[in-house]
A = this chain, B = another copy of it.
């Protein structure tokens, strides 16, 4: 926790536990990455969804060297990487006490480019493994030209904070006689039946695909 990431509001929702922060980052599928844009003009914020992966105490981001965000970040602009997991809708007996149960991690800092080839290869493997555990061993290694043609950024996890809400509705005492139903609607990540492409049609579906799921204690549903 740095001064900048110290929570200003609802400090009771702050979670100062490195393990919990890592767990949120590992469970999330996409991050929203913010930076300050506006070359030669008025500074304005830009927020872009990106894949990411944690490896120990760093986060990796990657993309095409032509990506505006990655070019800007390479130059040393600070980024803010936010990962949010939604756990439940909170239905209260008045509109303004409606809320969400969620876990959210905000990482601030300066991302720098990874140039060492071996580190870059390991980071790209982590990016695949983050999304689909067990996948990187099932595909061919990256060609050198692919590694060279990809920008990988690393961001230390030393300026990060977490907020979480995990509770039922908190109603005004005067509202407890209201007839409205109040409680939680749990939400999570639904997983659909894998859809093979043409070349994989009829092939057995490997375990890392068939049993892919996300989130603690989740029972798979159908999506899409």
Contact = CB atoms under 8 A, between A and B. Distances in A.
A89 B131 contact: yes
A12 interface: no
B95 A124 contact: yes
Interface in A80-115: 80-82, 84, 86-89, 91-96, 98, 100, 102, 104, 106, 108
Contacts of A8: 67-68
A125 B95 contact: yes
Interface in A167-224: 168-169, 175-176, 178, 180-197, 199-200, 203-206, 209, 212, 214-215, 217-224
Given A45-B35, A104-B49, A106-B48, A181 B169 contact: no
Given A106-B47, A182-B199, A96 B221 contact: no
A222 B218 contact: yes
A14 interface: no
Copy total for this chain: 2
Given A89-B132, A168-B197, A219-B222, 12 more contacts: A8-B67, A8-B68, A32-B82, A43-B43, A44-B80, A49-B104, A93-B140, A95-B124, A191-B221, A215-B223, A220-B221, A221-B221
A209 B91 contact: yes
Top 3 nearest A-B pairs (CB, nearest first) are A221-B221, A186-B192, A188-B223
A57 interface: no
A181 to B, nearest CB: 5
A14 to B, nearest CB: 14
A128 interface: yes
A15 interface: no
Contact of A33 (B47, B189, B212, B217): B47
Nearest to A101: B224
B182 A186 contact: no
A45 B94 contact: no
A32 B224 contact: no
